[in-house]
Amino acid sequence: MSVSEGWAYTEECLPQVADSMGHLLTRIRPHVSNRLIAGPGWVRLIDRAREIPVTMAAFPFGFEVRLEDPEPRADFGVSLVGDSRTAAHYQNGDRVQDPSTAGPAWFLNETDRESSLLRSVVGRTMLLEYDIEVAENGTRPDPGIFLYPINDALASGGGRLRELHAVHDALVIAGGWSPDAAERRQVDRLYGVLAPNTIIRAFGTFPSRERTMRFAVTGFTKAEDVSVFLDRAGWPGNSSAAGDVVSFFDERKAFAYLGLHFDITADGVGPNLGLSFFAHQKEWLRDIRHWTPVISAIGERGLALPGKLAEFSRWSTGSETLLAKSGPIRLFRGIHHIKLAMTGDQIGSVKGYVFFLMIADQPKRRVASGL
């Protein structure tokens, strides 16, 4: 069975397990640590996830956990893939007209076309990132929308402005923004100063926040390269301090490569910087051994709460088999990356990005117990 066939079969099985992503999360609650998400944070997460079709669990989904925050809460991310049962849910008439889902629906319709330039750059997958408010009167902002250029579509030195503009313009439309020539020039500028052997790996926006375009540039392996690029990019923070942070982790062999996250507006690069650590060239890692050096370095530097960090280090457990009425479903858990947020010369939040993936096995017999 191919990957796409496996996704389709899992989508077919999941409605027999739960009626929404929120319902599904309650069913896999034993696999989510109370030290990381609990109390109002869990309640609000479940409430928001009830808006999301359960079939999305056939694709990677997960949590953005703040490891320095004593509040046990997390934001929520899901993958939306074209030509799927989930995509059809978003593309029906009602949701195309709903402002909260019109952007994702437009993206799916656009990338359904084989001749679409956007499809040739980012494929047919997007990530939706839900901010989970824990206050009683918390808002329900529209999810952030992130696109991921495939292969080397937006690598340094490529000069592929048409492709870059296709992604930028798609996010303008999907985010409900109006075109802005100054913003596009700033996007072009950042692309033009990419360091050798780096690549734009992600490009997104948050429709419910103040207008920004968020870039993730990956491929950095040395502290000095990070400092030089931050100056070239025009980041208004302290590039030497950022380089010192990277050096600390580099000395402990804590990463395979780094990603830098920027906020771009019509005025240039914003003050917030994300430093993402990837433990291996391969992503979606399920073996915690890859992450031990960076987790240890975070603890040594005192950047996270010890209890949360210890619980986070137990997240990656490979896979388990769950029993459902539709048959066995394998549940995979892992860590995608870890990100430090900097403003000026100060480290603020420390976020761990953890994921789940569910894959339904072709059952030999029906099982009536379990999920």
1-25 pLDDT, tens digit per residue, is 556 778 899 999 999 999 999 999 9
Q: How confident is the model at residue 94 (pLDDT cuts 50, 70, 90)?
A: low
Query: In whole angstroms, what is the distance from residue 88 CA to residue 81 CA?
Result: 10
pLDDT band per the 50, 70, 90 thresholds, residue 368: very low
Q: What is the DSSP letter of 128?
A: E
pLDDT tens by residue, 116-142: 999 999 999 999 999 998 665 667 889
Map 59-116 to HEC letters: CCEEEEEECCCCCCCEEEEEEEECCCHHHHHHHCHHHHHCHHHHHHHHHHHHHCCCCC
Whole-number pLDDT of residue 351:
97
**244, 237 contact by CB (below 8 A):** no
pLDDT at 92: 83
CA angle 73, 172, 114 (to 5 degrees): 100
| Span 273-294, average pLDDT | 86
Q: What sign does the dihedral 142-182-260-202 (CA atoms) show?
A: positive
Arithmetic mean of pLDDT, 204-220: 95
Across all residues in the chain, what is the average pLDDT? 91
| pLDDT tens per residue across span 161-173 | 999 999 999 999 9
| 68, 127, 197 from 305: Cα distances, Å | 5, 28, 35
pLDDT at 181: 97
pTM of the model: 0.92
Which of 37-46, 218-227, 282-291 is least confident? 282-291
* DSSP-based three-state secondary structure for 168: helix
